[in-house]
């Protein structure tokens, strides 16, 4: 199973997933051990916020993606692509993956202003 983690510094879990350019892609073994991550840096038109729906994407084939934040439109778009979006407060990518596999993800911290901005942007987004 492949799991992608949004990581602006290739070291910690970050958000906003829809605008993330840098991702760590882990190939998780059958025993749940995450391998060494592949670093993936998306081009501007590959960033999910700007990518066309249905167009092949560099992260196609992953089972789940992990980030600290994302808008509702992004979450729905990932589900349409068959990707499970997971939001967490965890900052360590490996710990976040282990929590996902154990069904014990720490929910993200409330972001009232950030959530309001995401909802406003989603009103005008093509990803509804």
Give the three-state DSSP class for 112: helix
Instruction: Say how many domains are in the chain.
Output: 1
Enter the pTM of the model.
0.85
Give the sheet arrangement for strand 22-27, strand by strand. Answer: 38-41, 22-27, 2-6, 64-67, 84-87
Give the three-state DSSP class for 103: coil
**Residue 102 CB-density burial (10 A; 0-12 exposed, 13-18 middle, 19+ buried):** exposed
* Structural domain includes residue 16: yes
78-101: per-residue pLDDT in tens? 898 899 999 999 999 999 999 999
For residue 71, the domain's CATH number is 3.30.420.130
* Structural domain includes residue 35: yes
The band of 55, judged by pLDDT with boundaries at 50, 70 and 90, is confident
Sign of CA dihedral 76, 5, 96, 32: positive
> Which range has highest mean pLDDT (41-45, 65-69, 113-117)?
65-69
Query: What is the pLDDT, as a whole number, of residue 71?
Result: 83
| Chain CA centroid to CA 76, Å | 12
């Amino acid at each position: 199973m492949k799991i992608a983690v949004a990581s602006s510094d290739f070291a910690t879990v970050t958000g906003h997933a829809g605008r993330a350019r840098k991702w760590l892609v882990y190939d998780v073994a059958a025993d749940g051990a995450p391998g060494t991550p592949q670093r993936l840096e998306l081009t501007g038109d590959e960033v999910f916020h700007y990518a066309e729906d249905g167009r092949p994407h560099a992260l196609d084939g992953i089972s789940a993606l992990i980030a600290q934040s994302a808008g509702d439109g992004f979450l729905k778009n990932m589900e349409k692509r068959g990707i499970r979006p997971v939001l967490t407060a965890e900052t360590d990518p490996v710990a976040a993956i282990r929590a996902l596999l154990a069904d014990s993800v720490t929910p993200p911290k409330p972001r009232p202003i950030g959530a309001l901005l995401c909802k406003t942007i989603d009103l005008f987004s093509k990803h509804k």
